[in-house]
A and B are shown apart, each in its own frame.
Chain A
Amino acid sequence: MAYVATRGGEQAMRHAEQFFRTLNGPVDTACIRLIQRHMPYLIDRIMGEASLYAPELAALALVQTGGDLYEAVLLLRAYRSTQPRLAYAIPIESEQTLTVRRISAAFQDVPGGQMLGPTLDYSHRLLQTELLDPTQAPPPRVPMPEADTAAPRHYQPVTTWQRLNGLLDAAPEHPPCDPVDIPDVTRQPVTFPAPRAQRLQLLARADTGGLLTLGYAGMNGYGITHPTVNELCLAYADVYLRNPLTGTPFSAGRVRISQAEIVTPFRGGEAQLGLGFAATMGWNEVKVIAAAMLDLEMDGPDPHPAHQEAFVLTHTEAVEASGFCIHYKLPHYVTFQSNLDSLRRAQTQASHRVPATEQNE
């Protein structure tokens, strides 16, 4: 009976996975390379949510899950948790990054200039259906024209000028700290109110869609701010490690990162600008803008969910939210049976009780 059924269940599980793989067709190295090459923004999004910067593994995760983003992120996170911590990178300042796109909506021009960089912002959103026609020659490659003068590699933050002019509070003092002492959400449980480091880490690996929903709710009238994008940056950041023998810092490689700052006046009852910040691995503008907005609003005085830190950070956890949602597929018949027992008992009680109106008569 049960023993036989156990084996049947295991076979069914194997077949179910096989069915999934068969339906989605065979995968090989070439197809993983192709996805890695042509879908960098998708790869970036997954790496950010997985907090694992590994474009090749992210492409593999995507292919292996048939493009199910939540599954792909889970695969990467599960892989990540098996990897030992080899070293702690040296913290860097945001102006040390190699910035390729930097814009500010707060001023027409800012020190260092507005730099559009690579973006589809001003493209016409028309499907290039001609690409579907195999008989047409592919459009000729237009080489990027060289600039007369090279763009700056680093930019002075907009906040530097704002602080000089008394619009923003001075940056909080943070004495140099050992990276070992920075709280790490992947190693320590989060309790609320969360330390700032944990809050920024949770935002950095949060679900893009979840942050957008809550951030948009704020922007769309449930918020207390009209957000102004103070600065938005896409950059390459060097990962500096120390040579274990000599102690000399060296760059072990570069990762793509996004950063956004949101400002709003009269924040917290002060005649000052309030500042929200978010950053993530990979280039994902909508995520950092929404996250910076939430960073600014999360300590709000009103009970709206988007203004409660614990609500925002708990419910935008991609792996937990998706895992819990799909766990309802599991059988719950014992729990349901227990509820039925209470329900039937209440029904019996109700049929025995004299309605209040009759009692009064």
Chain B
Amino acid sequence: MRRRLLKAVALPGYQVPYASRELPIARGWGTGGLQVTLSLVGPCDCIKVIDQGADDSVNAANLRRFIARMTGVETTTDALQATLIQSRHRIPEERLREGQILVLQVPSPEPLLPVQPDLAKAREMHADADYALMWLSLYEQLVQYGTFTTGAEYPVLVHGRYLMSPSPIPRWDTPMLHQAAHVTLLAAGREKRLYAVPPYTDVYPLEFEDVHFRVESQQGRVCYQTGARHKLMNELPQPDGQVRYQLSDSGYATKLWQHQQGDTVTIGATYYDDAGNFYHRGYLKPDTDPA
């Protein structure tokens, strides 16, 4: 595992095969991420585990309980305090810093799967850096629907070479991988593939010169608990047909709420500011859908 992690960091975005072992957690429930976390954890580490942005989700709580039981390390819900964050499908809203490690759980590591289900052929396409089918599929989306239809798991090109699945993080989180201060390790236990985005590495979503990648619109959404805006929100359907919104990042929400109660908490700088601007200015291009 450790040998393969080093290879993964040396080959940004390239899927390194590894022998995933059976763990006392069901396959598909984060065994890949768990193996990475367990191979990294040292006595001074402090772990945060999140699922869909929440520390309190049962699966996150279960993995956290397991890691603490196996290693005896400290746990936290604060993204700033954590040295290692294992996450399913989200990146915290507060900017991660140098030295922090983000481990993302990956259900399907192969970004070419929708256009090439034969994994041996997909590997050849990566070897040739031949991503024509992927571009074609994006173009077809535009023709049929007038917009890119990919939801989460938006494919990205890493270090100008490998097409990579960023795991099913929302598009909102995709830019956070670009020229980040932290290292991101991605692991698929079931598919037995590991890959990485080192710090300060180019990560660009596939987009056309005239039709740009877009993050999920958070326009007009206000967290009903904290009043926060321009962060990724959960949409909560109400019995009367209305909807309310809640911050997806529960660790961040807790700190905002504690701050509002007058507690002393450190809230870090976020990737998106309160007006919705991403911190790497110019990375997200203006809206240019054909219509």
Contacts and interface: CB of A to CB of B under 8 A. Distances in A.
A352 interface: yes
Nearest to A77: B22
A190 to B, nearest CB: 8
Nearest to A325: B28
A323 B27 contact: yes
A81 interface: yes
A31 interface: no
Contacts of A319: 22, 26-27
A127 interface: no
Nearest to B234: A333
A74 B234 contact: no
Contacts of A9: 56-58, 61
Contacts of A78: 22-24
Contact of B18 (A189, A323, A332): A189
Contacts of A350: 145-146
Given A1-B257, A334-B234, A350-B146, A339 B152 contact: yes
A324 B22 contact: no
Contacts of B26: 74, 319, 322-323, 326-327
A121 B154 CA distance: 54
A74 B22 CA distance: 7
A6 B29 contact: no
A80 interface: yes
Contacts of A38: none
A125 interface: no
A346 B235 contact: no
B92 interface: no
B28 A342 contact: no
Interface in A163-205: 186-193
Given A327-B28, A334-B89, A334-B248, A2 B62 contact: no
- For the residues of B in contact with A, the DSSP-based class is loop
A326 to B, nearest CB: 6
A342 B190 contact: no
A331 B57 contact: yes
B52 A333 contact: yes
Contact of A192 (B120, B150, B234): B120
Interface in B151-186: 151-153, 168-172
A337 B246 CA distance: 12
Nearest to A349: B146
A3 B254 contact: yes
A192 to B, nearest CB: 5
B22 A2 contact: no
A339 B214 CA distance: 13
B21 A186 contact: yes
A324 B32 CA distance: 12
A327 B107 contact: yes
Interface in A260-303: none
A353 B142 CA distance: 13
A335 B235 CA distance: 12
A192 B117 CA distance: 13
Quick one: which of B19, B23, B172, B192 has the most chain A CB within 10 A?
A: B19
B220 to A, nearest CB: 13
Contacts of B31: 323
A189 B56 contact: no
Interface string B198-219: 0000000000000000101100
B93 to A, nearest CB: 13
Interface string B56-92: 1111011001000000000001000000000011100
A330 B23 contact: no
Quick one: which of B28, B52, B53, B257 has the most chain A CB within 10 A?
A: B28
A58 to B, nearest CB: 15
A353 B146 contact: yes
B250 interface: yes
Given A189-B17, A338-B152, A340-B235, A320 B57 contact: no
Nearest to B248: A334
Interface in B222-264: 225, 232, 234-235, 248, 250-251, 253-254, 257
B37 interface: no
B150 A2 contact: no
B251 A342 contact: no
Quick one: which of B29, B77, B151 has the most chain A CB within 10 A?
A: B151
A349 B145 contact: yes
B154 to A, nearest CB: 9
B29 A330 contact: yes
Given A2-B250, A81-B22, A353-B291, A8 B56 contact: yes
Contacts of A320: 27-28, 190
Interface in B92-119: 107, 118-119
Given A189-B192, A334-B89, A338-B171, A10 B152 contact: no
Interface of A: 1-3, 5-6, 8-10, 12-13, 74-75, 77-78, 80-81, 186-193, 310, 319-320, 322-327, 330-343, 345-346, 348-350, 352-353
Complex A-B, nearest 10 residue pairs according to Cβ-Cβ distance, in ascending order: A323-B27, A349-B146, A339-B151, A327-B28, A189-B17, A77-B22, A324-B28, A5-B56, A338-B151, A341-B216
7 contacts: A6-B61, A9-B56, A190-B192, A331-B59, A334-B53, A336-B151, A343-B149
Given A189-B20, A320-B27, 16 more contacts: A1-B225, A2-B77, A6-B56, A9-B61, A10-B65, A188-B19, A191-B17, A323-B29, A330-B51, A334-B248, A335-B151, A337-B216, A341-B216, A346-B145, A349-B291, A352-B146
